[in-house]
């Protein structure tokens, strides 16, 4: 029985050495397929949230940096989001669809034609509708 196992392992080693290139190609194909699948899953994530920059400072640090402290005087916690600057909803002057700033359709709108809204309700009140390729 033990000699049969040794013979079998020797046969496997010989086959691996003889087919080294074929095994390498198969391994590369499996790795590329796995990486492509993973990237595909990452590209279609459903939840897109706006980017937030949080700045938490102690009262002494906020005075040094010129920031205002909160009512409690302990920290100055500020959140900067796209909606504070221009709005988190973007539409074109020439179209009727609106997009969230995280949607890919925004990149196709020229900067001079962009119209910004704070909420989807505000955009819909102006006659715009949510683009089909842009999900909440």
Is residue 22 in a domain? yes
Tell me the per-residue pLDDT of 85-135, one tens digit each, with 9 for 90 and over.
577 899 999 999 999 988 888 889 998 999 999 989 999 999 999 998 887
- In this structure, the answer to whether residues 65 and 94 fall within a common structural domain is no
* Maximum pairwise Cα distance, the chain: 83
What distance in Å separates the CA atoms of residue 126 and residue 117, rounded to the nearest whole number? 10
How many domains is the chain built from?
3
Please report the DSSP string for 35-90 in residue order. HHHHHHHHHT-S------EEEEEEHHHHHHHTPPP-TTSSEEEEEE-HHHHT-SEE
Is residue 135 in a domain? no
User: Which pLDDT score is estimated for 82?
Assistant: 40
Expressed as residue numbers, the domain containing 69 is 53-80
Is residue 68 in a domain? yes
Contact 73, 59 (CB under 8 A): yes
- In this structure, the answer to whether residues 88 and 126 fall within a common structural domain is yes
Is residue 48 in a domain? no
- In this structure, the answer to whether residues 124 and 92 fall within a common structural domain is yes
What distance in Å separates the CA atoms of residue 68 and residue 81, rounded to the nearest whole number? 18
- In this structure, the answer to whether residues 90 and 62 fall within a common structural domain is no
Is residue 62 in a domain? yes
pTM of the model: 0.38
Q: What is the CB-side half-sphere exposure of residue 91 using CA atoms within 13 A? A: 23
- In this structure, the answer to whether residues 59 and 37 fall within a common structural domain is no
Contact 62, 76 (CB under 8 A): yes
- In this structure, the answer to whether residues 73 and 94 fall within a common structural domain is no
Is residue 136 in a domain? no
Tell me the per-residue pLDDT of 35-93, one tens digit each, with 9 for 90 and over.
999 888 887 766 656 666 666 655 555 455 444 444 444 444 443 334 345 778 999 99
């Amino acid at each position: 029985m033990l000699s049969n196992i040794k013979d079998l392992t020797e046969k496997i080693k010989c086959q691996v050495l003889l087919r080294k290139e074929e095994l390498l190609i198969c391994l590369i194909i499996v790795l590329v397929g796995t990486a492509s699948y993973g990237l595909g899953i990452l590209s279609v994530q459903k939840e897109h949230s706006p980017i937030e920059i949080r700045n938490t400072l102690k009262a002494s640090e906020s005075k040094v940096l010129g920031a205002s402290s909160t009512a409690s005087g302990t920290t100055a916690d500020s959140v900067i989001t796209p909606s504070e600057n221009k709005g988190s909803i973007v539409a074109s002057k020439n179209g009727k669809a609106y997009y969230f700033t995280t949607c890919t359709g925004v990149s196709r709108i020229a900067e001079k034609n962009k119209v910004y809204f704070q909420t989807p309700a505000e955009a819909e009140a102006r006659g715009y509708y949510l683009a089909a390729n842009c999900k909440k």
